[in-house]
Amino acid sequence: MTAIAAAVALSLPISLCNSCRVSKKFQGVKGGFGVFAVLGEANSLGPSDKKSPWSTLFDVEDPRSKAPQCKGRFLDAYQALELARYDIQYCDWRARQDLRTIVLLHEKVVEVLNPLAREYKSIGTMKKELAELQGELAQAHKQVHISEARVSAALDKLAYMEELVNGKLLEDRTKMESSIAAPYSSTSTQSLDTMKRPRKSLDVSGPVQPYHPRLKNFWYPIAFSTDLKDETMIPIDCFEEPWVLFRGKDGKPGCVQNTCAHRACPLHLGSVNEGRIQCPYHGWEYTTDGKCEKMPSTRLLNVKIKSLPCLEQEGMIWIWPGDDPPTTTLPSLQPPSGFVIHAEIVMELPVEHGLLLDNLLDLAHAPFTHTSTFAKGWTVPSLVKFLTPASGLQGYWDPYPIDMEFQPPCMVLSTIGISKPGKLEGQSTKECATHLHQLHVCLPSSRNKTRLLYRMSLDFAPLLKHIPFMHYLWRHFAEQVLNEDLRLVIGQQERMINGANVWNWPVAYDKLGVRYRLWRDAVERGSKLLPFSKPM
């Protein structure tokens, strides 16, 4: 749709002929503002003239009178498919009306610039009119882009509905073939087959594959600001590539390839010299954008190593490892108001980052796994549920007073009510007087390794932060909790590599983990409309 709008703007003729008679006629409201059309001698609208090439583009019937009528709260797949098709028809009609508005405004620009009209207007009046038209055109172009996005979303929805319908048809066909092949099967045998047949599952099995390039097109937090001093370097692996962080002359962080262009020496083994990272092998020095500015003992050559977009926000350093242009905004990972950060811990773990996220998004395992740490003394509830909006990646656990959110691409935030340690059932976080807030960042280092950033905050006991060696106590406790998880997740990973499906039979309390997997699958497929994404 953007291409059509551009074509209109570039191809419309601007006639400044003195013999042209110009008049105007109010055409009503289009997209929230008034539109006037320029009329020729025959007093007919240019773009709508039957002889005009625009007539076929704009002569489309308004589909609103033919909207499908649906009763009740639930739709079957075929009704949903018809609704999706209607959405596309309506979006197409709406986009044509928006485009028509641009054409009409363009004609009004022609009217303002016409020599006959200019004879009766001052330069100030003409400038004012053109400025108003420019604003209206900008608004109209914005509306066209909105319509384009709506069409794209409707097409994705239609593709999803068609997939559901095709799946239903395949299921019906399979059932029909099964009934024909075994017409004399007993009821008890059919019931047994039904019990043995697993429900639809996610397929997460086999060796860990290389990460899809589309997963790289996000901002990833990779370090805490407090860990990167002016003279320090932080080597990291991200998506199986080695990088190193350091601060430039201006104090801003940079991320460059951790490999010297000269002889492939690891740069993090060197030092930072006046805001440049110096290779320990022959002293070549690189700036935060990867340019080599110093080559001792030889002529300076035009050499540059790869660098990544790097930003610092709210005490964290972020990189954009993908090939797409980076977005202009970063998500906020700050704890809620009233919390004080007590610990920031970094660990390297021998598991694939998706498996670690699966574990962090699951609380139902706590009474069975963490019996020596935070869940010691917890009773096993008769039913564990995760309650969340239909299209959200956040919610709260029942019966535990814990709120949780998955923040794409690899972050988990949780708030835990700790008024009654060991007796968490029956309360929500709002009913608890004191809370613990956690941030887990699972950076994909390599196929079987994850860089974990952990931040812990409390809304009580702020003096704990100033007790000597308290940081070591928090780290010890965090390692204890993670070790309880790791022995299980490492076992999952070994079996997954050998062909077992780690998401073979999801149940109700697996909701958030399943949604993460669906989100990740959609990213890897290149879906324009990601499931459960927050509206922009």
Over residues 3-7, mean pLDDT? 38
The pLDDT value given to residue 310 = 98
Terminal-to-terminal C-alpha distance of the chain = 20
DSSP-derived 3-state class of residue 263: coil
For 369, the token pair is 């796994």
Q: What are phi and psi of 265, to 5 degrees?
A: -80, 140
* Maximum mean pLDDT: which of 112-126, 367-381, 474-488: 474-488
| Burial of 197 from C-beta contacts in 10 A (0-12 / 13-18 / 19+) | exposed
- Specify the higher pLDDT residue, 394 or 282: 282
Q: What are phi and psi of 355, to 5 degrees?
A: -65, -35
Q: Are 426 and 402 in contact (CB under 8 A)?
A: no
- Specify the higher pLDDT residue, 418 or 57: 418
Over residues 355-384, mean pLDDT? 84
Over residues 367-388, mean pLDDT? 79
CA-CA distances (angstroms) from residue 192 to 180, 187, 188, 459? 18, 9, 6, 53
The pLDDT value given to residue 235 = 98
The pLDDT value given to residue 53 = 53
Q: Give the torsion sign (CA, 467, 468, 472, 473).
A: negative
Domain 213-313 classification at class level: mainly beta
- Categorize the per-residue pLDDT at 25 as very low, low, confident or very high, splitting at 50, 70 and 90: very low
Q: Are 84 and 157 in contact (CB under 8 A)?
A: yes
Residue type present at position 166: N
Over residues 138-162, mean pLDDT? 67
- Specify the higher pLDDT residue, 19 or 54: 54
For 529, the token pair is 């409309």
On the CB side of 333, how many CA atoms lie within 13 Å of its CA? 32
The pLDDT value given to residue 267 = 98
For 533, the token pair is 């994404």
Q: What are phi and psi of 298, to 5 degrees?
A: -155, 170
With vertex at residue 433, the alpha carbon angle to CA 428 and CA 437, rounded to the nearest 5 degrees, is: 75
Q: How many residues does the chain have?
A: 536
- Categorize the per-residue pLDDT at 469 as very low, low, confident or very high, splitting at 50, 70 and 90: confident
Residue 470 has pLDDT above 60, yes or no: yes
The pLDDT value given to residue 230 = 94
CA-CA distances (angstroms) from residue 145 to 132, 139, 456, 481? 20, 10, 42, 49
- Specify the higher pLDDT residue, 49 or 202: 202
Q: How many CB atoms lie within 10 A of CB 352?
A: 26
- Chain position carrying tokens 């709210």: 314
The pLDDT value given to residue 75 = 53
Residues of the chain with CATH 2.102.10.10: 213-313
Over residues 443-459, mean pLDDT? 96
CA-CA distances (angstroms) from residue 354 to 276, 351, 502? 35, 8, 11
- Categorize the per-residue pLDDT at 315 as very low, low, confident or very high, splitting at 50, 70 and 90: very high
Q: Please name which of 115, 137, 112, 134 lies closest in space to residue 125, comparing C-alpha atoms.
A: 112
Q: Bin 317: left if φ > 0, else alpha if -120 < ψ < 50, else beta.
A: beta
Across the chain, what does the average pLDDT equal?
A: 78
pLDDT of 365-375, one tens digit each? Answer: 888 888 887 77
Q: What are phi and psi of 306, to 5 degrees?
A: -70, 140
* Maximum mean pLDDT: which of 99-103, 235-239, 329-333: 235-239
pLDDT of 486-508, one tens digit each? Answer: 999 999 999 999 999 999 888 88
pLDDT of 392-431, one tens digit each? Answer: 788 888 777 889 999 999 999 999 887 654 455 456 788 8
Q: What percent of the chain has pLDDT over 70?
A: 72
pLDDT of 65-84, one tens digit each? Answer: 777 766 554 455 556 666 76
Q: Are 378 and 503 in contact (CB under 8 A)?
A: no
- Chain position carrying tokens 């201006």: 250
For 54, the token pair is 């625009």
Over residues 98-112, mean pLDDT? 77
Over residues 34-48, mean pLDDT? 39
**Domain covering 334-525, topology:** Naphthalene 1,2-dioxygenase Alpha Subunit; Chain A, domain 1 (3.90.380)
The pLDDT value given to residue 170 = 47
Residue 136 has pLDDT above 50, yes or no: yes
The pLDDT value given to residue 194 = 37
Residue 15 has pLDDT above 80, yes or no: no
Residues of the chain with CATH 3.90.380.10: 334-525
Q: Are 355 and 501 in contact (CB under 8 A)?
A: no
The pLDDT value given to residue 27 = 41
The pLDDT value given to residue 80 = 66
Model pTM?
0.63
Residues 6+ apart with CB under 8 A from 479: 347
The pLDDT value given to residue 282 = 97
Q: Please name which of 136, 84, 37 lies closest in space to residue 144, comparing C-alpha atoms.
A: 136
pLDDT of 181-226, one tens digit each? Answer: 444 344 444 443 434 444 455 889 999 999 999 999 999 999 999 9
Instruction: Compute the distance between CA of residue 207 and CA of residue 426 in angstroms, rounded to an integer.
Output: 41
